[in-house]
Amino acid sequence: MNALKSAASYLTGQLRQIGLFIALIVIVIFFQVTTGGITLAPINVSNLVVQNSYILILAIGMVMVIIAGHIDLSVGSVVAFTGAMAGVMITQWHVPWPIAVVLCLVIGALVGAWQGFWIAYFGIPAFIVTLAGMLAFRGAAQIALQNQQISPFPEGFRSLGSGFLPAFGSSGYEPLTMILGFAAAAILVVTAFRGRATRRKYQLEDEPFAWFMTKLVFTVALVMYVALLLASYNGTPIVLVILGVLVVVYSLVMRSAVFGRHIYAIGGNALAAQLSGVKTKRVTFLLFVNMGVISALAGVVFTGQLNLASPSAGNGFELDAIAAVFIGGAAVTGGIGTVPGAIVGGLIIGILNNGMSILGVGTEFQSLIKGLVLLAAVAFDVFNKRRAASARK
Amino acid sequence: MPHRTAPPLRPLFQNGRRGARPHRASRSSHHARSRAQRKAVHVTDTILEMRDITKTFPGVKALQGVSIEVERGQVHAICGENGAGKSTLMKVLSGVYPAGSFEGEILLDGQPVKFSNINDSEEAGVVIIHQELALSPFLSIAENIFLGNERSKGGFIDWNKTNLAAAELLQRVGLKDNPITKIVDIGVGKQQLVEIAKALSKKVKLLILDEPTAALNDDDSAHLLELIRSLQAEGMTAIIISHKLNEIKAIADKVTIIRDGQTIETLDMHADDISENRIIRGMVGRDLSTRYPEHESTIGEELLRIEDWTVHHPLDGSREIIHQANLNVRAGEIVGIAGLMGAGRTELAMSVFGHSYGTGISGTVYKRGVPIKTNTVTAAIDNGIAYATEDRKRYGLNLLDDIKRNVSGSALGKLAKWGFVNGSEETTVARQFLKNMNIKAPTVNAVTGKLSGGNQQKVVLSKWMYADPDVLILDEPTRGIDVGAKYEIYTIINALADQGKGIIVISSELPELLGICDRIYTLSEGRITADVPRSEATPETLMQYMTQERETPVNERAQVRS
């Protein structure tokens, strides 16, 4: 009885996380039913991954910026600008595409350094600086493209956005994807158990074993199911590999790198961080450099996927990325948020977009519904916090 | 404005519901008594009486049966050490703490009153001007005066009326500025006058001034006191809270001394020849009990020395906050800095620690006799200096994060390899502190925002102990924590000194400094006025040095500076 009670209190403590997952599942099931099974069809799952990849990539950078208590409104324009530069470099200057990609990332870093300078060292609020960047880099993209679209791109460049890992076997389930799926599942299981063992060693474990197993079985099943779906279509999208690496690296950075910890410290209490010897200006500067590089990567992926560099590319991406981060549980005031949370938030937005498109819902209603979902998610957060605060009293 | 006599009773106090209160009997008896008094002594007339006010915060009795009686037309000063309960008493009076949240009775013009917020008290003519001015910087003087009390017609502001009325009020307080001037464009002294004008606009009959001259220079202070005197001549009653005993002596008719939340005495400044020392004795007269652990310091070489340290105000570069301060601390020594609110204690410490406060900082910091740079927090930490802030919630902790990450916060590099933090080691370190410091929390994963003040303070101390500095500056290390936790903190401070660290303790509580320090510097108006060894330190001598005024008059200083 007592165990049950403590388990229940643990779960209410995790209400936000659980709620996020349940929301994701409910939305998937809803669309699976209403679209008559199209949502989870292998080709659609593959499309879902590919078509949302750049939002998810942006969400990773954005969650870090938001945890630090800032915001970046310029990412959509930076996507357009770096995509434009990729087009100019590859088709007009005939730069080999791998070099062009690297140069694009460097341009992203410079863009981030420019904005980071004004924010960190000059003290202009990020909202203003990146609003200026949103306008300026949109203009820069238009200038670079002379208001024309550029197309086509070489095969290799395109595959970054829409290609698949080389397939083995001609029919049935593609083995490489299955192997990757198994590997990912195995890594998940091992790290989960190791983490639990360490926490137990330090007597920090308060997660009921049953819940731990439920969560683990669920995630492993999800990974394997997605792998199965992908394997029965074209195999593993290259962009999924890129995304996977980013998620793993940045989760690690935010959890245990000194840099990531300083970001949380600044967002939680900038004055205290500074008086603890955190170089707040430098960290903020690097944060925006990082955001610039990530935006450039999203720009490359997006341009490759469309096989087109367009001056209007990336319009509104910043809003999707910001929405993903807040749906994923980040706090507007900074200090709170996680990379996996932002990814799940991004997936919710992606599935909403995808499902509503399949159902033929007009863009006006898509926008309306996305807005309401964002509001509901944050309202749930606020409600939760208040409940916790009043329970403490 | 002519002097207002007692206003007609507000209907609130006439209805039957109020009459049913248990105080009824005492109220009528009081009536009889005060009427009798008035007959006997014609000149005196009590405007305010606070009776047996007791205010309890969780775990602390801030006020215990405080009584005070203020006569109409007088300037009544309230004196006491920091934390004695003066501000709490004024908050009770002005309705910041609503009726019912404290025990006791407030009588205004002989009538019991119950204020449930500031609006109530202002309506009754009691207006408080807080130490931190509550003006909106980008609005004009006139807009500020009538903020929340706008001169309007049908929901639209009547600007002519507003500015005209403001100009009249400004004339009354002797301010010649145009009412449309923005608050940011006038100095702090004038802002104080605007606050008073604002109070006058509310038909004030009892004006409360909390440390009105704390942020003012000598000229502005003198002007303000002059104004209070002239308002008094018009019939205004004022309560003034001040640390500056010379001002009190100059302006007050009566002084009530509060100590440890109790009224000690009320002195009539006219009746007897009351000296500043007499007031000081009342403020500090209390025994040092065994609230401090026994400790014998083993003092070694000099660790830190600050020479000719001068700091200017961050916004007003012409205002000196710290003037040529010299101090030092040796290994194993606990050095105190005593000073009243606004003397520049925190400013001194924070300016040394990474120039975290102030501009135009000059002077030299020596570590073991070698000059060092402390112009960034990182440089200060690298040179073995740590500063634990007085405001742990604002400057000390990330309240959103857990204990272990707060503990490792200032020395994360010690736990990291290739830029990544070793989580297990971090947990181990935090667990040790949890145990050694007796931090009461379930695990090191507990969020610091949910801990009690004492435990939060221990987390802050742990953070700096983990950084392993040579010199620790502790700013108000026991502020807002209970007696038991205080004792533990003192024990920790002693242990740190025994490890050969130099400790500087800044505190508003003289008994605390006398109880734990080997040597005490006194700070008054940004100047170090004395360096008193423990054996010679008494509350009286310290208080004398803490209230000591500058030796050089204003114009002479100006010459020296130019």
Please give the angle made by the CA atoms of A270, A271 and A273, to the nearest 5 degrees.
Answer: 65
Instruction: Answer whether residue B276 shows pLDDT above 80.
Output: no
Can you read off the two tokens belonging to residue B164? 């005209």
Backbone angles phi, psi at B229, to 5 degrees: -60, -40
B134 secondary structure, DSSP code? -
With an 8 Å Cβ cutoff, is A274 touching chain B? yes
What average pLDDT does chain A have? 89
Across the interface, of B356, B387, B420, the residue whose CB is closest to A256 is B420
Residue B157 carries which side chain, given as an amino acid letter?
Answer: I
Residues B10-63 pLDDT 10s: 433 334 333 334 443 444 444 444 444 444 444 568 899 999 999 887 656 788
Which residue stretches of B324-422 are H helix?
A: 345-352, 377-382, 403-407
| pLDDT band with cut points at 50, 70 and 90 for residue B3 | very low
With an 8 Å Cβ cutoff, is B387 touching chain A? yes
With an 8 Å Cβ cutoff, is A256 touching chain B? yes
Q: What residues in A contact B394, CB-CB < 8 Å?
A: 269, 271-272
Domain B1-125+205-286 class in CATH: alpha beta
Judge whether B212 and B192 are in contact, CB under 8 Å: yes
Phi-psi category of A334—alpha, beta or left, where left has phi over 0 and alpha has psi -120 to 50?
Answer: left
Judge whether B65 and B75 are in contact, CB under 8 Å: no
Task: Set out the domains of chain A in order of their start, with CATH numbers.
Answer: 2-163+237-392 (1.10.3470), 164-236 (no CATH)
Can you read off the two tokens belonging to residue A203? 């007597």
% chain A with pLDDT above 90: 59
Who contacts B67 (Cβ-Cβ below 8 Å, separation ≥6)? B49, B50, B51, B52, B53, B263
Judge whether B211 and B131 are in contact, CB under 8 Å: yes
Can you read off the two tokens belonging to residue A73? 């409104």
Work out the number of other CB atoms within 10 angstroms of the CB of residue A209: 10
Query: Going along B313-462, which residue ranges are E strands?
Result: 320-330, 334-339, 359-367, 370-372, 385-388, 416-417, 420-421
With an 8 Å Cβ cutoff, is B457 touching chain A? no
CA B373 to chain centre: 31
For residue B309, the model assigns a pLDDT of 93
For residue A9, the model assigns a pLDDT of 67
Residues A191-243 pLDDT 10s: 989 888 888 887 777 778 888 888 899 889 988 999 988 888 888 899 999 99
CATH superfamily of B297-384+469-562: P-loop containing nucleotide triphosphate hydrolases (3.40.50.300)
Cα→Cα distances A361→A23, A33, A128, A327, A370, Å: 20, 15, 34, 22, 12
Q: What residues in B contact A202, CB-CB < 8 Å?
A: 424, 427-428, 431, 444
Judge whether B150 and B139 are in contact, CB under 8 Å: no
Say if the Cβ atoms of B405 and A264 lie within 8 Å. Answer: yes
| pLDDT band with cut points at 50, 70 and 90 for residue B500 | very high
% chain B with pLDDT above 70: 87
Judge whether B263 and B68 are in contact, CB under 8 Å: yes
Q: What residues in B contact A283, CB-CB < 8 Å?
A: none
Which residue in this structure is represented by tokens 């707060």? Answer: B406
Can you read off the two tokens belonging to residue B23? 């105080």
Judge whether B38 and B72 are in contact, CB under 8 Å: no
Q: Which of residues 225-254 of A touch B (CB under 8 A)?
A: 252
Q: Highest mean pLDDT: which of B18-27, B190-199, B281-290, B497-506?
A: B497-506
Overall average pLDDT of the B360-385 stretch: 92
CA B75 – CA B443 distance, rounded (Å) = 54
Domain span(s) for CATH 3.40.50.300 in chain B: 1-125+205-286, 297-384+469-562
A202, A275, A392: best to mutate for the B interface, most B CBs within 10 A? A275
Q: Among A50-64, B187-201, B325-339, where is mean pLDDT lowest?
A: B187-201
Who contacts A187 (Cβ-Cβ below 8 Å, separation ≥6)? none
Judge whether A174 and A181 are in contact, CB under 8 Å: no
Assign 3-state DSSP to chain B and report helix, strand, coil percentages, each to 5.
Answer: 35, 25, 35
Q: What is the DSSP string of B159-196?
A: HHHHHHHHHHHHHHTT--S-TTSBGGGS-HHHHHHHHH
Q: What residues in A contact B354, CB-CB < 8 Å?
A: 275
With an 8 Å Cβ cutoff, is A204 touching chain B? yes
Which residue stretches of B202-361 are H helix?
A: 218-233, 245-251, 276-284, 345-352
For residue B85, the model assigns a pLDDT of 82
